[in-house]
Amino acid sequence: MKVRKLQLVGRTSYMVSIPKEWISKYRLKQGDEIILQEHEEFVIIKPSQKEREEIRVEVDRIPSYDKTSLKRLLSSVYSLGVDRVVLQHENIGKHITEVSEISHKFIGMEVLDHTNNSIVLHIFTIPDFDVVTIIKRMHQILSGILNEIKRNLFTRELETVEIVNDKINRYKEDFNRFYLLAIRLVNRRMREIPISEWDELRFMLGARMIAKFYEEIADTLRVLSYYLWEHSIDVRKEIHGFIVELGEALDQGFEAFMKSDIAQSQNYISFVEGILDEIQKSIKTDQEGAILKELLIQIYRMLESIGDVSFTKNIREILKP
């Protein structure tokens, strides 16, 4: 972490110096443009994006045209950072409806053209998005899923349960779109980073791991919601405490990754380990609701792993020369 003081320039403007090694790292020179992105608690300074060559792939071996296979194919191409995809096969044009419907599940993907034997898709660049912004949005969606569960934890009405599960499914669909976008941004950035710049490579790999943990947590929360309302009110009262702590752990884990504070990361890991111990003791004491507790253990294990990634990141930052 570099610390710089603000300097007053004239009567209304302020200036902050940028370390020389950063200028060299990003190959900047006097007169180059930089971008300032304002977030709630911080400002990101980054070089203006330069023109780059479009990445185009042609796919002429399509194993299957069912929606699941097509979605898996487009997911892989999208996450790898490709700009333009050309699907080529005899009579593929008759599948344009399915391909168009699937493309809307990816942020920025659109069908540009199609003929009887080809379908052209383009993934438009979204310059205002970066990995930090996407992970923050994923965290917000996870919090939304958790809040839906907490608000309706003690309902006895089947209709309410169905409404809640439908909302959670919609949250998860939205979450999946941002997860794939996060992986796409990481892969694109890693392609552009010189091998010598290990610090940014490591950060991108860490961000990818956090995104994957979030994706698994969202999946597990959705499964938990299916089983939750089948249990008695007494079981749900016990689970309530662990779910409240889960919300706190989720926020602490996000903060631990975003901030370079070893003590905060260590306290977070200890907090999660303490809750894990409580849940495991609860299972030994009472087997009722054990499936819910096991699902919570899976979630807390992933939160613990987020703590490990954050702690390693923070250690690496203080050891930098």
Q: What is the DSSP string of 129-184?
A: --HHHHHHHHHHHHHHHHHHHHHTTT---HHHHHHHHHHHHHHHHHHHHHHHHHHH
Task: Check residue 102 and give its pLDDT.
Answer: 93
Please, what is the angle between helix 262-285 and helix 233-258, to 10°? 160
Short-list 177, 201, 199, CA closest to 190: 201
214 and 289 share a domain?
yes
299 and 177 share a domain?
yes
Alpha carbon of residue 129 to chain centroid:
12
276 and 149 share a domain?
yes
* Nearest-angstrom CA–CA distance, 249 and 197: 32
The SS3 of residue 8 is strand
Q: Please determine, for residue 231, whether its predicted confidence score (pLDDT) is greater than 80.
A: yes
Domain annotation covers residue 311: yes
Domain annotation covers residue 2: no
Domain boundary among 75, 93, 123: 123
Share of the chain above pLDDT 90, in %: 50
* pLDDT band of 50, cuts 50, 70, 90: low
Domain boundary among 104, 123, 142: 123
212 and 275 share a domain?
yes
36 and 77 share a domain?
no
Domain annotation covers residue 306: yes
* pLDDT band of 55, cuts 50, 70, 90: confident
Task: Check residue 72 and give its pLDDT.
Answer: 87
In tens, the pLDDT along 269-319 reads 999 999 999 999 999 988 888 999 999 999 999 999 999 988 888 777 766
**Beta-sheet pairing, 84-88 with 56-59:** parallel
94 and 226 share a domain?
no
Task: Check residue 225 and give its pLDDT.
Answer: 92
Question: Integer distance in angstroms from the first to the last C-alpha of the chain?
Answer: 11
In tens, the pLDDT along 248-265 reads 999 999 998 888 788 888
- For residues 49-63, average pLDDT: 75
* pLDDT band of 40, cuts 50, 70, 90: low
Domain annotation covers residue 184: yes
* pLDDT band of 205, cuts 50, 70, 90: confident
Domain annotation covers residue 225: yes
* Nearest-angstrom CA–CA distance, 170 and 224: 16
187 and 161 share a domain?
yes
- For residues 68-76, average pLDDT: 88
Q: Please determine, for residue 124, whether its predicted confidence score (pLDDT) is greater than 60.
A: yes
298 and 242 share a domain?
yes
- Bridge partners (DSSP) listed for residue 87: 59, 119
The pTM assigned to this predicted structure is 0.77
Contact 91, 118 (CB under 8 A): no
Domain annotation covers residue 250: yes
Task: Check residue 163 and give its pLDDT.
Answer: 93
184 and 83 share a domain?
no
Domain boundary among 123, 154, 172: 123
Q: Strand 118-123's sheet: what is its strand order?
A: 56-59, 84-88, 118-123, 109-114
Query: How many domains, in total, are found in the chain?
Result: 3
Q: What integer best gives the mean pLDDT of the chain? A: 86
CATH number (domain holding residue 36): 2.10.260
170 and 204 share a domain?
yes
142 and 245 share a domain?
yes
185 and 239 share a domain?
yes
Please give the residue range of the domain that contains residue 64.
Answer: 56-123
CATH number (domain holding residue 98): 3.30.110
* pLDDT band of 100, cuts 50, 70, 90: very high
